[in-house]
Structure 1
Amino acid sequence: MKNRLVAIFSLIVGLITAQQQAYYQQEASYKMEIDVDAANYSYHGNQEIKYTNNSPDELSVVYFHLYWNAFKPNSLMDQRVQNQGKNADGRLTEFGSSKLASIPKNEEGSQTVNWIKQNGKLLKFEVQETIMKVYLNEKIKPNSTTTFTMDWDSVVPKQIRRSGRNNREGVDMTMTQWFPKLAEYDYDGWATFDYVGREFHAPFADFDVTIKIDKDYVIGAGGILENPSEVKGYTENPTIKTDKNDKATWRFTAKNILDFAWAADKDYSVETFIVPDGPKVNFVYQKSEKTQFWSEAQPYITKYFQLMNATFGRYVYPTYSFVQGGDGGMEYGMCTMILGEARSLEGLLGLMIHEGAHSWYQQMLATNESTKPWLDEGFTSYAEDFVMNALFPKDDMPNPFYNAIQSYVRFVKSGKEEPAVWLADHHDNGTAYTVASYTKGELFLVELGYIVGEENLSKILKKYYQDWNLKHPTDRDFLHIAQQISGMDLKWFHHYWINTTKTIDYAIKDVKYNDDSTTITLVNNGEVPMPIDFSIFTKDKKTVNYHIPLNMMRTPKTKDYFGDFQTLNYWNWTTKEYTLTIPYKKSDLQILGIDFSQRLADVNPENNFLEVK
């Protein structure tokens, strides 16, 4: 009887644990009315938010982000830049000092919440710079919806990073991270990271946004413009309707996106084209000699969406806007803000393609980029290099990711590398963050393709999209799919590549030429064990490939894009050396080496090849 009770208790605990860990995601619906005072770079806003708690937890507080409160002297962002000194993000510094420290009082950003109500009743709240904590009168029970209403005033900050007024390209207002936005709540709790310059996370939401602004302005935004014939820029001879203050009304809607962003300028032009079997695309920018490449970019952007749809999964939204925002590039729901001026067509497209690819890796596959920046920046960089190689093939590169590998190797040798597992805003060195998140995140997929084979990698990426688009996946979810499709154990690789700064360094240690064969000894001089692809190139111009699987994989790869190969015995990760004998004598051989495809991120590749003389 006792054993039976123990078994029943274990079953109940197991069911409760499974229920607690079951996937869920919160929902929000915003309805906003915004009145812009363009002359004073400010606006008044009110919004109604319907918030659905799909978690199993009862919520007694909610949190909002107030990003613009960071744009002032002595803010957390300013303190972070000053503390980092020469290691800070160069876009936030000038002459070695923080740009935020010198923002004039009348150009500081602010988001001042006048009041917030839940179901019509006022709520108590406290503002912790860029985070607002709201104490609820009525707890939000699991699987229930509540309604918040809010009234606030904002001052558009001087543009230092992403958002702001009168940027260096002459755009009047770049309105990103511009409204009080609900924080995400998931199994890890509330995502309430202070804004100190980097990444974001939010629940999927619907938006219905009405903006009143001086009639001479043109707006570029994510979402669908519902009244294009009543505003400037989108149709010929519009009938602009104005109120008593000579303001036009713009209305945008969007469903199931993470954020709504917009920009406004009197000199914007709008070019629109439709991707076959894809979205309607808007180019919103200031036409000039410095932006001459925008019009030339249109056919490339059409091919870009088609390539992304075929390779990584379909773009699910009806529109996409590329908007000249004046600072770097940053992705938002159904749009991106980018620098408009470019020195070349390829340079402009590289920026458009990277930021646009975030529609897949961060917007549709909405990972938490504050905690796992490599999952969105790295995967996006992989897609960028893949597409750019298709649009602008380079004959001198062995694979599309060769330059990323070289960049990584150079930085490793600087001794400044930091682990990719670190939180986005908590890297000590700005370049180390870039390498950890963008480069190592990209090479996570490159090395994975080397391990499992390119055909399997393609299947993994498509399955990842199929299972997780319009959700919030984690690296654990991705790894589960990768192991499922490849049949391999890959936890060791994820650990070494993401959690450590250990490096790959294999070499040819010794070659012994026999009468009718050749014996090669390979050595692992590094700290990261990997499977090895070893190849020979014969005097009669034939390539012969061998695959040495790593024992921790448990299953060897069966195919790859370099052709047929012979699978050899496992190389145990605890063994430093490995010896193989091939049925070719010295006179048969021209070149032998590790990784002819040059996908292996080996920090000392010069000892991977041997020319037989």
Structure 2
Amino acid sequence: MKKSVAILFAFIISQFQAQQTPYYQQAAKYKMDIDVNAEKFTYQGNQTLEYTNNSPDELNVVYFHLYWNAFKSNSMMDQRVASQGKNGDSRLQKDGISRLPSIPKNEEGAQNIHWIKQNGQNLKFEIQETIMKVYLAEPIKPNSTTNFTMEWNAVIPQQIRRSGRNNKEGVDMTMTQWYPKISEYDYDGWATFDYLGREFHSPFSDFDVTIKINKDYVIGAGGILENPTEVKGYDANAKIKTEKDKKATWRWTAKNMLDFAWSADRDYIVKSFDVPEGPKVFLVYQNNDKTKAWEEAPAYLTKYFQIMNGHFGKYVYPTYAFIQGGDGGMEYGMCTMILGEAKNSKDLMGLMAHEGSHSWYQQMLATNESMRPWMDEGFTSYAEGYTMHQLFPEELPNPFIERLDAYRKFLEKKIEEPAVWLGDHHDNGTSYTYSTYIKGELYLVELGYIMGEQNLAETLKQYYDQWSMKHPTDRDFLHIAQKVSGMDLKWFHHYWINTTKTIDYGIKDVKYDAKSTTITLVNNGQVPMPIDFSVMTTDKKIVTYQIPTNLTHTWKSKDAYGDFKTVAYWPWTQKEYTLTVPYTKSQLSVLGIDFSQRIADVNMKDNFLEVKQ
């Protein structure tokens, strides 16, 4: 009996310790030498990687991502696109048929690993599609560092998704996810998701990258150019140093970021300007009639970075580059690749604001976007909406009204999938977009409605303060939101992220008396919510009543959208709720649920009532 008790006690202690494991994150330092054959769209690569295991686990294998192996016929990406047909990503298919088999054999993506060594010892490795599993010669013990060296060559794939040669606007090379990149290892284990065209994840790393390429090319990259006077485009007085084969050498460095991306074209121009209190911003693009909107970008981008720094946390890196390339917009360390042609400044700035905001909600606050894409794309979309409303102000009930309307319209298709699903495992491309971008954005909009906009702003600030340059999860964010607001918010998180249940409140009945009016509200939906119910009097005065839900146990005390009076809570199990206000029919003009229109109610038709005299 005593032995059993001792074993049970030891088990309980071990479980408690497991749950209390201190936070850690891995670290890497890359030094690369790249020699590009621009005519053949290939390159030779050598890499030294210093990898530090800060985990409490001994590692016997490591994994690398080889993203470009996806760009070929019958790859997993091709199979996934083929199985989804017209429901998949439109950029990867045409008329429901995968574009990948159309890539000529000599233009298929390839990262051919010649060898990899650990501390000078040859290692066995195996290629599993876009993942390389490496068997170590010696384990990497906790809190220790090892060194890998590697040689490889690569074929730059035809531009289909994110990366590749000859994008549709004529950019020669978009070099993203282009090198063998070590996978992230954390409490959840190795992040070894196959690349199917969507999101990425990796450890924070330092980079020292030397690129040799024909001297007539200009490179745009996320990092610090260490020799601007020796290459084309960055210094009017540059004296380009070339070797015998007429190649120029570019050297880029960057510290503590997730990846290093670059793009190269012979027609690029480079413009730069300084945002007060940082960063220095570079615009790298082809200067033609279709890119005129870039000329107006500096003024908007200066204000954009100032808004982001003030409301969401300080951008920590010294530079940021907006680079024309890729197939739409995709964020990387200290830069983004975007299509450069735009109808006007607002359209271009919308794309820049979204991709730039990923520097907060993908780079500095580096969630695993393959597992929680809604935290990456959704929070970024919220920051985009917040900043764009200030850059291009409109008379709207709130900055997110168009997203709310789009969400309601999307639900009519009846194809919604839960936001909790893994990024590459959504069955429908449109459903992925709404589950990830729209519901992720509205997650914050709804929290602002529930807890008050000031509390949401403070939550975002503390989230940045506590978790920037780390790998937070939704649990970390929710912990801060609950601490700031004093509310229990787990119920909302569950409904909004883990289910496809919807909000639907309405005005069921109104009775006018001699001295008051009694309103009966009804919950026709499956997601309980607090209700801000407002009345507008005939003299245009608005009075708002906060009807809390008992699920939060604490009510919001303030909200930027106006003052309110708090009344008795609405039990979440109760279908109807009655509210009596001290106004007669002759004194009332309009009655309504949430005049700010932030609540994501799927049926707005019964939310407002005009009082006809």
- Please give the secondary structure, in 1, of the residue aligned with 2:241: coil
Please tell me whether the aligned partners of residues 82 and 96 of structure 2 are also in contact (alpha carbons under 8 angstroms).
no
2:187 aligns to what? 187
User: 2:407 corresponds to which residue?
Assistant: 408
Question: Is the 8 Å Cα contact of residues 159 and 167 (structure 1) preserved in structure 2?
Answer: yes
Partner Cα separation in structure 2 for residue 517 and residue 7 of structure 1: 64
CA shift digits 1:34-86 (9 cap, x unpaired) = 00000100000010000000111100000000000000011110110000011
Distance 1:32 1:495 in 2: 44
1:118-155 deviation line (CA, Å, top 9, x unaligned) = 00000000001100000001000000000000000000
Query: Helix, strand or coil: the match of 1:481?
Result: helix
Q: How far did 1:10 drift?
A: 7.1
Residue 539 (1) aligns with residue 538 (2): yes
Counterpart residue number, 1:603: 602
CA distance in 2, matches of 1:30, 1:258: 11
Alignment partner of 1:398 is 2:397: yes
Matches within 5 A, 1:499-578: 499-578=498-577
Corresponding letter in the other structure for 1:540: D
Residues of 2 paired with 1:238 and 1:430: CA distance? 47
Q: How far apart are the structure 2 equivalents of 1:175 and 1:452?
A: 43
> Counterparts in 2 of 1:141-152, with a 5 A limit?
141-152=141-152
Count of residue pairs the alignment pairs up: 611
CA distance in 2, matches of 1:380, 1:238: 38
Q: What is the deviation of 1:5?
A: 6.2
Give the % identical residues.
Answer: 70
**How far, CA to CA, are the matches of 1:368 and 1:46 in structure 2?**
28
Q: Please state whether the residue corresponding to 1:292 is helix, strand or coil.
A: helix
Question: How far apart are the structure 2 equivalents of 1:383 and 1:74?
Answer: 38
Contact 2:71/2:100 (CA < 8 Å) preserved in 1? Answer: yes
Equivalent position of 1:13 in the other structure: 14
- The structural deviation recorded for 1:18 is 4.4
Match of 1:287 in 2: 287
CA distance in 2, matches of 1:50, 1:332: 21
Cα deviations by residue, 1:336-394 (Å, 9 ceiling, x for unpaired) = 00001111110000001100000000000000110100001000000001100000011
Residue-by-residue CA offset, 1:226-251 (whole Å, 9 max, x unaligned): 00000000001311111111110000
C-alpha contact 2:163 2:326 (8 A) present in aligned 1: no
Q: What per-residue deviation string (whole Å, max 9, x for no partner) do you get for residues 404-432 of structure 1? A: 00000000111011110011001111010
CA distance in 2, matches of 1:435, 1:8: 47
State the partner residue of 1:589: 588
Q: Which deviations, in whole Å up to 9, do the C-alpha atoms of 1:197-233 show, x marking residues without a partner?
A: 1000000000000000011100000000000000000
Indicate the residue corresponding to 1:276 in structure 2.
276
Note the 1:381-460 alignment, pairs <5 A: 381-395=381-395, 397-460=396-459
Residue identity in the other structure for 1:101: P
Alignment of 1:249-398 (within 5 A): 249-395=249-395, 397-398=396-397
**Aligned-pair distance for 1:554?**
0.5
SS of 1:551's equivalent in the other structure is coil
Q: Report if aligned partners of 1:30, 1:49 keep a CA contact under 8 Å in 2.
A: yes
Taking the TM superposition and a 5 Å limit, the aligned residue runs for 1:477-496 are 477-496=476-495
What is the CA–CA distance in structure 2 between the aligned matches of 1:168 and 1:11, rounded to whole Å?
59
Classify the secondary structure of the residue corresponding to 1:414.
coil
Alpha carbons 1:74, 1:101 under 8 Å: kept? yes
The two structures, once aligned, show a CA RMSD in angstroms of 1.4
Q: For residue 124 of structure 1, what is the aligned residue in structure 2?
A: 124
Cα distance in 2 for residues equivalent to 1:581 and 1:296: 54
Give the deviation of 1:295 after TM superposition. 1.3
Letter matched to residue 217 of structure 1: Y
Q: Deviations over 1:274-300 (max 9, x none)?
A: 001111100000000000110111110
* 2:159 counterpart of 1:159: yes
CA offset at residue 167 of structure 1?
1.2
Matched, 1:106 2:106: yes
Instruction: Answer with 587-596 or 87-96: which moved more.
Output: 87-96
Q: Partner letter of residue 437 of structure 1?
A: T
CA contact (8 A) 1:170 1:326 kept: no
Cα distance between partner residues in 1 of 2:124 and 2:272: 46
Between the aligned partners of 1:272 and 1:436, the Cα distance in structure 2 is: 36
8 Å CA contact 2:87, 2:96 repeated in 1: no
Distance in 1 (CA, whole Å) between partners of 2:312 and 2:224 is 24
Q: In structure 2, what is the Cα distance between the partners aligned to 1:382 and 1:103?
A: 37
Amino acid at match of 1:236: A
Q: Aligned partners of 2:86, 2:268: CA distance in 1, in Å?
A: 36
Kept in 2, the 8 Å contact 1:326–1:340? The answer is: no
Tell me the residue number matched to 1:464: 463
8 A Cα contact 1:184 1:202, kept in partner: yes
Q: Partners in 1 of 2:594 and 2:418 — Cα distance?
A: 25
Q: Aligned to 1:553, what secondary structure does the other structure show?
A: coil
The answer as to whether partners of 1:231 and 1:248 remain within 8 angstroms in 2 is yes
More displaced stretch, 111-120 vs 89-98:
89-98
CA contact (8 A) 1:222 1:332 kept: yes
Structure 1 CA distance for aligned equivalents of residues 470 and 160 of structure 2 = 31
CA distance in 2, matches of 1:168, 1:553: 51
Query: Can you give the 5+ residue segments of structure 1 that lack an aligned partner in the other structure?
Result: none
Give the partner amino acid of 1:193: F
Cα distance in 2 for residues equivalent to 1:341 and 1:7: 66
Q: Distance in 2 between matches of 1:460 and 1:152?
A: 45
* SS, match of residue 145 in structure 2: strand
Q: Deviations over 1:458-486 (max 9, x none)?
A: 00000000000000000000000000000
SS class of match (2:301): helix
Distance 1:566 1:119, change over 3 A: same
Contact 2:171 2:325 in 1 (8 A): yes
Distance in 2, matches of 1:352 and 1:14, equals 46
Q: Structure 2: how far apart are the matches of 1:97 and 1:286?
A: 32
Secondary structure at 2:137's aligned position in 1?
strand
Matched, 1:229 2:249: no
SS for the counterpart of 2:349 is: helix
In 2, Cα distance between equivalents of 1:591 and 1:320? 49
Query: Residue in 2 aligned with 1:174?
Result: 174
- Per the normalisation by structure 1, the TM-score is 0.98
**SS of alignment partner, residue 80 of structure 2:** helix
Q: Is the 8 A contact 2:114 2:152 kept in 1?
A: yes
Task: Identify which range, 88-97 or 577-586, moves more after superposition.
Answer: 88-97
Q: Which SS does the other structure have where 1:495 is aligned?
A: helix
Distance 1:505 1:96 in 2: 35
**Whole-angstrom distance in 1 between the partners of 2:19 and 2:185:** 19
Helix, strand or coil: the match of 2:598?
coil
Bigger shift: 8-17 or 574-583? 8-17
Q: Is the 8 A contact 2:34 2:211 kept in 1?
A: yes
Q: Please give the TM-score of this superposition, normalised by the length of structure 2.
A: 0.98
Amino acid of the structure 2 residue aligned with 1:106:
N
Q: 2:95 maps to which residue?
A: 95
Which amino acid counterpart does residue 205 of structure 1 have in structure 2?
S
Alpha-carbon distance between aligned partners in 1 of 2:562 and 2:350, rounded to the nearest angstrom: 31
Aligned-partner residue type, residue 229 of structure 2? S
1:514 CA drift (Å): 1.1
**In structure 2, what is the Cα distance between the partners aligned to 1:321 and 1:62?**
32
> Does the Cα contact within 8 Å between 1:590 and 1:611 map onto a contact in 2?
yes
Q: How far did residue 456 of structure 1 move?
A: 0.2
CA distance in 1, matches of 2:510, 2:560: 27
Question: Secondary structure of the residue that 1:235 maps to in structure 2?
Answer: coil
